[in-house]
Amino acid sequence: MEKRDQMKQIRDELLDFKVSPLYVYRTENNYFPVIGEGSHDARIVFIGEAPGEQEAKTARPFCGRSGKLLDEMLVSINLDREKVYITNLVKDRPQNNRDPSFEEIQLYAPFLDRQLDIIRPRVIIMLGRHSMNYCFEKAGIKEQLEPISKIHGKVFKGKLSYGEVILLPLYHPAYALYNPNNKVTLFEDFKHVQQFL
């Protein structure tokens, strides 16, 4: 099966994902699951935590205020958004933009695992602590996990089903929206992505 067909299959399963506690909230609000977008052959995959309202309305990842900042960060290192793949750990929007629960992460993570197996990226950039925690465990380097405040912008190596991967934890772009002083940190950390282009 081609990569596009495999991704469509994931989308179709998520559209009818009634087992999720977020399903009713999504359908009541005419939201969509946010599967991801970008190249299915991407060398670099960005993984956020969960969709915000704008994302859930449009079915596009990082298209709201955080997305605009992510676009600025990509431009700052001359990286075309269409050449990477951008997705989230949880594919449906939690109520009131709250953090995803442990149960929600457990439910949605297998979809992310399948996406990574389809794309087979060499570099995984985790935007925020939830995707960082999950990816470190999945890549077999849970023992190297520390709070994101200590390890943001540092490069780690792990292993997924298809081989070795580089993991780079970064603050979520929303981190700079609440405190503009943090924007400098975000852009400094983002420079580390350049070495993998």
C-alpha span between 49 and 128 (Å, rounded): 7
What does the domain layout of the chain look like in residue ranges? 3-196
C-alpha span between 89 and 48 (Å, rounded): 6
- Confidence band for 97, pLDDT divided at 50, 70 and 90: confident
CB-based burial, 140-176: b 16+ in 10 Å, e otherwise: ebeeebeebeebbbeebebebeeeebbbbbbbbbbbb
Average pLDDT over residues 11-35: 97
Question: pTM for the whole thing?
Answer: 0.96
Tokens describing residue 91: 């594919």
**Pairing mode of beta strands 85-88, 156-160:** unpaired
What is the reported pLDDT for 178? Answer: 80
C-alpha span between 154 and 147 (Å, rounded): 12
- Confidence band for 14, pLDDT divided at 50, 70 and 90: very high
Average pLDDT over residues 40-45: 98
Q: DSSP letter at 17?
A: -
Classified by CATH at the fold level, domain 3-196 comes out as Uracil-DNA Glycosylase, subunit E (3.40.470)
- Confidence band for 140, pLDDT divided at 50, 70 and 90: very high
Tokens describing residue 97: 């933009």
Q: How far is CA 112 from CA 34, 77, 91, 106, 177, in A?
A: 11, 26, 9, 11, 26
Share of the chain above pLDDT 90, in %: 93
- Confidence band for 70, pLDDT divided at 50, 70 and 90: very high
- The three-class DSSP label of residue 80 is coil
Cα dihedral across residues 134, 126, 152, 166: positive or negative:
positive
